[in-house]
């Protein structure tokens, strides 16, 4: 099999790893133009300062010894199989880089033979890139659960980011759908990577020349909808992972029906709206100071399909509102629907010079269609009614953006779709997705 045929198979198989978005471009460089675009495996990610970076996103191989029910690459699935050699991947990466297709590599893999053997192949690839080709672009690799510490320690020296996919939220789910995977085999490397990153950061503070271990941190992925676990279980797990292992991101992937096995749900479409709600809640955990217990509880274990999690929380806590824009502290401002992190900080800064009114809030980027029900400006309330839960809920539901679509019209984007899904982006700055 030639290298481009392998690329077609293994880049398509990599689309279920949601750590970046597809470019969907087939634009070729003609007439001595500037730059180039190629759809096979090219995806986008974002740096911490907001720059968009193109990556080659591909699997080392889709040959797998595991038979996870939810996975398209499972042992029992009849799909075309392929595998890159380290030399082929190095050649492909450097060729794409020299043609201005990419600026980095996102490398994952199915499990061939065993975890250590698979990771050794990926490690050999990135070592060749760093040492032989002197490649200094961004490299993100997926660590295989069960990999030994020795291999992880070496991989962290050459990769910018390491991640271990946890995939399912409970031990019971793993036992039923992925019996060959164990919880400890996932959490142990995750713990080691976290402690190594922290130790490396401390050493770097003391000695600027100290080598860095996975300087871009680690992330993980959770599949949404393959099991009957409620949103509360998933969000609690995410919150625990952020606190315990200091993850950069938890990515959520709506389960795409790839099997008719009886242990899997019979879905006609992936639960994309549910995935979207989890991303919104994840943002509230990371940037807005919320906890999982505030957003969901045993009586309400799943997110509302009609409203975002922040608005739902506000309606359950109307006794805290309305808040006076010119007096409320930063943490309370962050809990007002329609006020985001950037707007809240600007409000706190601007009101030191002058009292803010409704028009000032518009200029600061506050989404007043939502916020006006929960605030006062100079003592004046701008809602159309008193603090009535039913009225505010109806208004918030009908005040959706013009381009919002009903849940039944949401569609799953393929790797080469022309419009990327924002929720799959890696480390977007807080200003990109708008204000919650």
Query: Does the pLDDT value for residue 24 go beyond 90?
Result: no
Measured distance CA(421)–CA(208) in Å, rounded: 38
Query: Does the pLDDT value for residue 374 go beyond 80?
Result: yes
Distance of CA 153 to the CA centre of its chain: 24
Task: Tell which wins on pLDDT, 179 or 36.
Answer: 179
Task: Tell which wins on pLDDT, 412 or 283.
Answer: 283
Question: Is residue 22 very low, low, confident or very high in pLDDT (cuts 50, 70, 90)?
Answer: very low
pTM of the model: 0.86
Measured distance CA(275)–CA(18) in Å, rounded: 12
Query: Does the pLDDT value for residue 1 go beyond 60?
Result: yes
Residue 391, sorted as left (phi over 0), alpha (psi -120 to 50) or beta, turns out to be alpha
Q: pLDDT of 196-215, one tens digit each? A: 999 999 998 899 889 899 99
Measured distance CA(3)–CA(263) in Å, rounded: 37
Q: pLDDT of 54-69, one tens digit each? A: 899 999 999 999 999 9
Three-class SS of residue 92? helix
Q: pLDDT of 125-147, one tens digit each? A: 999 999 999 999 999 999 999 99
Q: pLDDT of 240-254, one tens digit each? A: 999 999 999 999 999
Rg of the Cα atoms in the chain: 23
179 CB contacts (<8 Å, ≥6 apart)? none
Average pLDDT over residues 343-371: 95
Three-class SS of residue 106? strand
Query: Does the pLDDT value for residue 152 go beyond 80?
Result: yes
Q: pLDDT of 78-129, one tens digit each? A: 999 999 999 999 999 999 999 888 889 999 999 999 999 999 999 999 999 9
**Residue-level pLDDT at 53:** 77
Measured distance CA(62)–CA(14) in Å, rounded: 9
Across 11-20, 349-358, 371-380, least confident range: 11-20
**Residue-level pLDDT at 144:** 96
* CB 168 within 8 Å of CB 174: yes
The mean pLDDT of the chain is 87
Task: Determine how β-strand 380-381 pairs with β-strand 52-59.
Answer: unpaired
Task: Tell which wins on pLDDT, 428 or 176.
Answer: 176
Question: Is residue 386 very low, low, confident or very high in pLDDT (cuts 50, 70, 90)?
Answer: confident
Query: Does the pLDDT value for residue 19 go beyond 90?
Result: no
Question: Is residue 258 very low, low, confident or very high in pLDDT (cuts 50, 70, 90)?
Answer: confident
Indicate the DSSP class of residue 76.
T
**Residue-level pLDDT at 413:** 45
Task: Determine how β-strand 42-46 pairs with β-strand 249-254.
Answer: unpaired
Q: Which domains does the chain have, with CATH numbers?
A: 3-220 (3.20.20), 291-396+420-436 (no CATH)
For residue 222, CA distances in Å to 185, 237, 390 come to 16, 10, 34
**Residue-level pLDDT at 314:** 97
Task: Give the residue among 290, 315, 295 at the shortest CA–CA distance from 373.
Answer: 315
* CB 214 within 8 Å of CB 157: no
Query: Does the pLDDT value for residue 192 go beyond 90?
Result: yes
Query: Does the pLDDT value for residue 18 go beyond 80?
Result: no
Residue 83, sorted as left (phi over 0), alpha (psi -120 to 50) or beta, turns out to be beta
For residue 120, CA distances in Å to 58, 86, 150, 153 come to 16, 10, 10, 12
């Amino acid at each position: 099999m030639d290298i481009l045929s392998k690329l077609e198979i293994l880049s398509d198989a990599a689309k279920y790893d949601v750590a970046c978005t597809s470019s969907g471009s087939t634009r070729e460089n003609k007439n001595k133009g500037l730059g180039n675009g190629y759809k096979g495996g090219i995806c986008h990610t974002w740096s911490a300062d907001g720059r968009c970076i193109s990556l080659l996103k591909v699997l080392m191989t889709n040959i797998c010894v595991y038979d996870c029910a939810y996975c398209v690459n499972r042992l029992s699935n009849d799909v075309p199989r392929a595998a890159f050699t380290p030399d082929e991947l190095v050649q492909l990466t450097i060729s794409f880089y020299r043609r201005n297709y990419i600026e980095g590599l996102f490398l994952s893999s199915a499990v061939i033979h065993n975890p250590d053997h698979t990771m050794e192949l990926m490690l050999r690839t990135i070592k060749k890139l760093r040492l032989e080709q002197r490649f200094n672009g961004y490299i993100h690799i997926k660590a295989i659960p069960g990999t030994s510490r020795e291999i992880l320690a070496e991989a962290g020296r050459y990769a910018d980011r390491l991640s271990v996919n946890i995939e399912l939220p409970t031990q019971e789910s793993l036992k039923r759908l992925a019996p060959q995977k164990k919880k400890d085999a996932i959490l142990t490397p995750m713990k080691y990577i976290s402690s190594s990153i922290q130790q490396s950061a401390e050493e770097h503070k003391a000695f600027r020349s100290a080598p860095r271990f996975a300087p871009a941190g680690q992330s993980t992925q959770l599949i949404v909808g393959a099991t009957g676990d409620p949103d509360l279980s998933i969000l609690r797990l995410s919150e625990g992972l952020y606190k315990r292992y200091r993850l950069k991101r938890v990515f959520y992937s709506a389960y795409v029906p790839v099997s008719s096995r009886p242990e899997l749900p019979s879905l006609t479409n992936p639960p994309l709206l549910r995935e979207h709600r989890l991303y919104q809640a994840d943002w509230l955990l990371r940037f807005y100071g919320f906890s999982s217990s505030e957003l969901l509880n045993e009586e309400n274990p799943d997110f509302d399909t009609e409203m975002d999690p922040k608005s739902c929380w506000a309606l359950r806590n109307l006794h805290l509102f309305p808040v006076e824009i010119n007096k409320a502290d930063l943490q309370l401002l962050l809990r007002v629907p329609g006020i985001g992190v950037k707007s809240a900080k600007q409000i706190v800064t601007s009101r030191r010079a002058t009292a803010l009114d409704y028009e000032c809030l518009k200029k600061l980027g506050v989404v007043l269609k939502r916020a006006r029900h929960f605030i006062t400006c100079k003592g004046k309330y701008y809602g159309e009614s008193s603090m009535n839960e039913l009225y505010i809920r109806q208004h918030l539901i009908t005040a959706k953006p013009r381009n919002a679509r009903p849940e039944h019209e949401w569609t799953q984007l393929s790797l080469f779709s022309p419009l990327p899904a924002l929720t799959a982006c890696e480390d977007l700055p807080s200003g990109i997705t708008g204000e919650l």
